[in-house]
Amino acid sequence: MKVLVTGGAGFIGSHVTDQLIAAGHQVVIVDNLSTGRVSNLNPKAVFYEMDIRSPELRKVFEQERPEVISHHAAQMDVRRSVADPIFDAEVNILGSIKLAQLAIEFNVRKFIHISSGGAAYGEPVYMPCDENHPVQPLSPYGASKYTFELYLYIFKATAGLDYTVLRYPNVYGPRQDPHGEAGVVAIFIGQMLRGKPVTIFGNGEQVRDFVYVADCARANLLALEKGGGRVFNLASGVGTSVNQIFEALKAITGYPDDAHYAPAKPGETFRIFLDAARAQQELGWRQTLDLTAGLQQTVEYFRQVELQSSGG
């Protein structure tokens, strides 16, 4: 089938694209390259350099007629959402609504929306958080991602647009930006391999649920045919602290120094990990690569690709 992947030049979206193409599907990518990279693009995909808010998006639907949308394009920086909540809402809510309206108009069969398990729940009432956990985000990013989930519920009820929501954990792996604001694993590896200081914001005891990117990408393939009208956490079900990530990567890379600590950033949850039992039961999804193996593969990628391409 033909799948439109928004954000398909980005870290996670490019892995989704690769897996879709490997499974025999046609892929159309829309990405404005604000954080995505041309080097991430699969040469077998059709690529439109475009913002999802652009009036030109209609032409993509007229030309390509996608059957399914996998919606990864987003303003994904929690800190930026706190500093500029209007921009966050323009992209994550209004841009997504525009995309959904075109999906309805052009009879798209399924809309897969990438939401946030880490940011939507806020500071947990209980852990691991399942999909019935109260949604009480601490950042505009978490609020905007969840708000569009509600719009999809409405669009299904009023216009028949089928959808599946995937609430991602902290995703890590090859192609993550080591210079960005999001992605502690990539940032740490980038600094360690260059012999530069590593800064941990807060005391490092913040706990997250880390899942390797290929596992999260695979859930998109499963959602092509399953999970209609449902919300799913993707998760390892295990909490890992930032300090533990630092120590594991220090051991893998041979980094000789200790971390520097700086004040915590506003809007970020302190401790969270998720329950993925529903995804296992209804999608047939589970994590296949554990954290130790995933970190080793990610470090190897950065050694072979990122350092070489940057001349480091």
At 11, give phi and psi (nearest 5°).
Answer: -55, -60
Q: Are residues 225 and 244 in the same domain?
A: no
Q: What is the pLDDT along the chain (312 residues), one digit of tens a residue?
A: 999 999 999 999 999 999 999 999 999 999 999 999 999 999 999 999 999 999 999 999 999 999 999 999 999 988 899 999 999 999 999 999 999 999 999 999 999 999 999 899 999 999 999 999 999 999 999 999 999 999 999 999 999 999 999 999 999 999 998 876 668 999 999 999 999 999 999 999 999 999 999 999 999 999 999 999 999 999 999 999 999 999 999 999 999 999 999 999 877 789 999 999 999 999 999 999 999 999 999 999 999 986 666 554
For residue 245, tell me if it sits in a domain.
Answer: yes
For residue 31, tell me if it sits in a domain.
Answer: yes
DSSP, collapsed to helix, strand or coil, labels residue 63 as: helix
Q: Are residues 61 and 194 in the same domain?
A: no
Q: Are residues 19 and 167 in the same domain?
A: yes
Q: What's the CATH number where 181 sits? A: 3.90.25.10
Residues catalogued as catalytic: 141
Paired tokens of 89: 């809402």
For residue 282, tell me if it sits in a domain.
Answer: no
For residue 178, tell me if it sits in a domain.
Answer: yes
Q: Are residues 103 and 198 in the same domain?
A: no
- Residue 242 is part of which domain span? 174-208+238-273+289-309
Q: Are residues 35 and 182 in the same domain?
A: no
Whole-number Cα distances in Å, 205 to 125, 241, 245, 264, 268: 18, 5, 10, 11, 13
For residue 283, tell me if it sits in a domain.
Answer: no
Q: Which helix (H) or strand (E) holds 107?
A: none
For residue 82, tell me if it sits in a domain.
Answer: yes
**How many domains does the chain divide into?**
2
For residue 71, tell me if it sits in a domain.
Answer: yes
Indicate the pTM of the whole model: 0.95
Q: Are residues 89 and 218 in the same domain?
A: yes
